[in-house]
Amino acid sequence: MGTPEWAIPSLKAVIESGIEVSAVFTQPDRRVGRKRELAPSPVKQFALAQNLAVHSPENAESKDTLELVRSMSPELILVCAYGQILTQQFLDIPDIGCFNLHFSFLPSLRGASPVQTAIASGLKTTGVSLQKMVLRLDSGPLAVCSGEVEILQDDATPMLGTRLSEVGGDLIRQNLQNILEGNFTLTEQNESKATYCSIIKKEDGHLNWKEETAHVIERKLRAYTPWPGIYSFYKIKSKSDSRHRLQFTKAELVQGNFECGKIYPDLTVGAHTDGLKILYLKPEGKKEMDADSFLRGNAEILGTVLE
Q: Residues 180-237: pLDDT tens digits?
A: 999 999 999 999 999 999 999 999 999 999 999 999 999 999 999 999 999 999 988 7
How does residue 262 score in pLDDT terms, banded at 50, 70 and 90? very high
**Domains 5-197 and 202-301 belong to one CATH topology:** no
User: What is the C-alpha to C-alpha distance for residues 1 and 25, in angstroms, rounded to an integer?
Assistant: 5
CA angle centred on 155, ends 106 and 160, rounded to 5°: 45
- What is the CATH code for 5-197? 3.40.50.170
Q: What is the pLDDT of residue 240?
A: 65
User: What is the C-alpha to C-alpha distance for residues 55 and 274, in angstroms, rounded to an integer?
Assistant: 51
Q: Kind and range of the H or E element at 30?
A: strand 30-32
Model confidence, pTM: 0.95
The ranges assigned to domains in the chain are 5-197, 202-301
CATH superfamily of 202-301: Formyl transferase, C-terminal domain (3.10.25.10)
Radius of gyration of the chain from Cα atoms? Answer: 23
Q: Residues 102-124: pLDDT tens digits?
A: 999 999 999 999 999 999 999 99
